[in-house]
Amino acid sequence: MARQMDTESASVLRGFRPQNLYKTTLCLAYQSLGIVYGDLSISPIYVYKSTFSGDLHLYEDDHEILGVLSIVFWTLTLIPLCKYIIFVLGADDNGEGGTFALYSSLCRHSRMGLLNTVHPAHERISSYCSEIPTKDTRMGLLIKEFFEKHKSSRIVLLLVVFLGTGMIIGDGILTPTMSVLSAVYGIRIKAPDLHENYTVFIACIILVGLFALQHYGTHKVGFLFAPIMLIWLLCISGVGMYNIFRWNPRVIGALSPYYIYYFFRKTGRIGWSSLGGVVLCLTGTEAMFADLGHFSKLSIRIAFTGLVYPCLVLAYMGEAAYISKNKMDISSSFYKAIPEVMFWPVFIIATLASVVGSQAIISATFSIVSQCRALRCFPRVKIKHTSNQIHGQIYIPEVNWMLMMSCLAVVIGFRDTRMIGNAYGLAGVTVMFITTCLMFLIISTVWKKNVLLAVLFFVVFGSLELLYISACLGKVHHGGWLPLLFALVIMSLMSIWNYGTMKKDAFELENKVSMDRLLSLGPSLGIARVPGICLLYSNVAFGLPPMFAHFVTNFPAFHHTLIFVTLKSLMVPKVPDVERFHVNRIGPPELSIFRCVVRYGYKEVRDCYNFETQLIEKVAEFLKQESTIEDMTVRGQSPNHISAAVGNEVCRDIAEQRRKEVSGGSGEQWSNTGFQSLGSHQEMKKLMEAREAGGVAYMMGNPYVVASGVSPFLKKFAINIVYGFLRRNCRRPAIALGVPHTSLLEVGMLYQV
């Protein structure tokens, strides 16, 4: 099973003595309060209010409120504590969590994925290939074979992942709305005559301020998050204990599951419908797994089991005790249960806590959009780093302002926290159910456990989540349609963008040009060489892209040194720096043409500023290694000895090629271009001279992608209208890659897909 600490945290903790290790783990647990548990910790504000906002009523006996309390307790125990803390955290992808992390793990251990089209030679990462192989179970092999044989099953799996992503992004809209509006409504407890428009206006002001501060980055205000949530948790647990002993100590008996049975026996269908409010106690649970990359699993487990879980249980029990004796206050029970002397301090802390909880999901939305963009499932957007220390802290302006406008529209349009709550609950529980489905595949195919364990996991947790989903779907006409609309729009955009990108890549692959073909046309075209270095960006990892052939046939000249650059995102969180660049030569040495495949993980954001320098340094390093191999080949040493001496796995291919050339057995014949062959030492010198003489130019394609005339209407609509609109309005590739405009050459070409 997965490690006890994620790789990122383990690298931080490595080298500490035991006492320092414990101290660091506790520090991480403290920090996780503000980042991971903000959303989950503020749910007591609105759970009981949403649960009893429909047809469910309180009677003289306390069976209804005790039944709801029992459901809340066992839901918190089964889903966050048992499912996530015990099982799901163990399914991390080398320290990273979330829906894409599970999908990435499945893609690497089987052929279930559609996103990764990287050639196997470019996909292998040593740090992800060091696991000790274990034997697959019979059922695990059958599941893998099913997905490999049926492409439709792989498409459905990808759409499920897109649905989960859409629900998480929708959660980024609903969480700030629900949290801030519920907290601000507490003002009406002390000012009952205050018009609803004023509370909505105050909530909008807070939301605008929240999103306006995003460009500063979470690291600027992050030191406030954990103390606020710690004070908040201590406050609600203290108030809960006070209410238990003052109003009704018998609520402790509601921990018995008997009250759940009695609740449903008495309330029937109305009780089932009320689960749409109870499910709000789970909001933010997915963050325990999604935000795993910034913490260790042990720290997240300590924070939840040692503080968050008991504080939440006490808060729900205390509020239930108050409601049992003050049934008329059910619509505002959270604030009315607060002792008079503590009201304003708790109200201020509640407002701050709602902002903290909102910040957590906003940051998570930035992170998941960045992952989708890296895997080419989301249009290109601007990504800004907000921290020099923590690479994962980013800010996406376009997403930020779209979230803000959506939040304001929901607040102004709905106003009612009951309807927003119906939408909020459906979004959260759907993501949890998708995680359960993916965990079934993880247990059976990645962990290679008995399929009965996977079935048991799905039955226990999936049935409970399906029960909540059914209750939320029953309220689709009361606001539950909102997350479905968000998810459908986002899933459609992601699917069409990915489909259009795959079709564009397929066209380039089918129309790539071989070096032999280009060289055979060289004499007739009269190709000239100009000083300098040209970086030509393309998605074609083998052969020459059609864009370059189109350019050369119309303008027969290119730079002295030509480097084809292919950026690839792998289904791994991070690629080690030493394995990021894969350089090789195209054609004979006298042409000075190279290919560099640059590999990134789906969690990484490309460094645009140092990329050019790093790339040229890697080409120079390649030439240096080539020079060493040439010298050793002349002395008659074997390729194995050469690669061992140089210490680079890529050099084995270079050594073999040089050995064949020396023995006259080169498997590929090149046309005589008239260029003088240079040694690697001279070529390194020429490389630096070319950079100084002509600088660095950039070339990339600007294709116009359209569906072919015989395509069906649906394909034409997706490619010509939706995909075309997204390409015209998203950030241009040159801007996204940080290419200077003055050095850029774009080549237009029609792609009929």
Domain ranges of the chain: 36-113+139-500, 512-634+680-752
What is the CATH number that goes with domain 36-113+139-500? 1.20.1740.10
What residue type is assigned to position 93 of the chain?
D
Cα distance between residue 532 and residue 691, in whole Å: 5
How far, in whole angstroms, is CA 323 from its chain's centroid?
40
Sign of CA dihedral 259, 474, 169, 375: positive
Give the Cα separation of 524 and 482 in Å (integer). 63
pLDDT along the chain (753 residues), means of 10: 39 50 82 85 89 72 86 95 93 82 85 64 57 75 89 91 89 86 81 82 89 74 78 94 92 91 88 89 87 82 94 95 87 87 89 81 82 85 70 79 91 82 84 94 91 94 94 83 89 92 89 77 72 88 85 85 88 83 84 88 73 85 78 56 43 46 37 45 75 81 89 92 91 82 88 88
Alpha-carbon distance of 536 to 541, in angstroms, equals 12
Closest Cα partner for 199 from 513, 190, 752? 190
The residue among 365, 301, 296 whose CA lies nearest residue 96 is 296
Indicate the pTM of the whole model: 0.82
Q: Where are the alpha helices (DSSP H) in 664-747?
A: 680-694, 713-716, 724-729, 733-736
Q: How many CB atoms lie within 10 A of CB 693?
A: 13
Task: Collect all residues with Cβ–Cβ distance below 8 Å to 152 and sequence separation of at least 6.
Answer: none
Angle formed at CA 171 by CA 735 and CA 183, multiple of 5 degrees: 120
106 and 447 in contact (C-beta within 8 Å)? no
What is the predicted pLDDT for the residue at 670? Answer: 35
| C-alpha span between 345 and 348 (Å, rounded) | 5
Check residue 673 and give its pLDDT.
38
Q: What is the pLDDT of residue 667?
A: 35
- pLDDT of 137: 84
Output the pLDDT for position 680: 62
Which residues fall within 8 angstroms of residue 539, CB to CB, at 6 or more apart?
504, 505, 508, 545, 566, 567
With tokens 């009406």, the residue in question is 188
Question: For 218-308, where are the alpha helices, taking DSSP H only?
Answer: 218-247, 258-267, 269-278, 287-290, 297-303
